[in-house]
Amino acid sequence: MTTALITGATSGIGAAFARRLARDGHDVVLAARKTERLRTQAAELHDQHGVEVSVLTADLATEDGISALEQRLGDRARPVDLLVNNAGFGTKGRFLEVPLADELTMLRVHCEAVLRSTTAAAEAMRERGRGGVVNVASVAAFVPNGTYSASKAWIVQFTQGAARNLAGTGVRLMALCPGFVRTEFHDRAGLDTGQVPGWMWLDASRVVDAALADLARGRELSVPDPRYKAMTGLAKLAPSRVLSRATSSTRRRYGPK
């Protein structure tokens, strides 16, 4: 039986990945900051699907948390076949309004933790000749708008480059770029989403279904939903200065992902 490890597993897209993978018969490792919430979720998944579910308490804003994740991914006696790097957060405010400490924490969670965990997982997977990594980015990666967008753009570029470097090894890497998803993400960041049009919202379970289908097809980039595919295509064609002006006010009101 294969094992999947999901970071940021207790809510939103991470929880949707955990439910889908457990339903499909995968053993699951749930990684997040809150131990009690992890244990409750683990018990529910085990009772519902009969798979083995373990928990890893890890705050990926800390060295100890990232190290614990690396160690689990590098454990050859308990191999991880699929890593889903979903942990992340948003901030409210424009550049110079957000404390620098929060910006640095975001880079650690979105970039350093993703780099180190992907490295640990891919090394072990390459030895076995199989495995997959899904790094959750955002459609915000395609527009220049502060540290959040920049960090998600880094995830996309890093993941696609690493995927090409590992071509032929049996290890697949893919960046997942959802748009607005109905999760706790915006509430935790204190972002007002009341004016976001209904058509822009996606369901977390459907995002996961699309992502896993794209991973099975060997894609390096997954943008769930045709509407967001069209939007990202337009973003690649529009001048960056125009995009920056158009999106800065939107992010102040609604936030990313």
Coil vs helix vs strand at 110? helix
Out of 142, 148, 180, 185, pick the active-site residue: 148
The DSSP line for 9-63 is TTSHHHHHHHHHHHHTT-EEEEEES-HHHHHHHHHHHHHHH---EEEEE--TTSH
Q: Name the DSSP class of 81.
A: S
**C-alpha count within 13 angstroms, C-beta hemisphere, residue 156:** 20
Decide if 228 is catalytic: no
Q: In angstroms, rounded to a whole number, what is the distance separating the alpha carbons of residues 73 and 114?
A: 12
The H-assigned helical ranges of 86-131 are: 100-107, 113-128
Distance CA 42, CA 29 (A): 9
Annotated active-site positions, please? 148
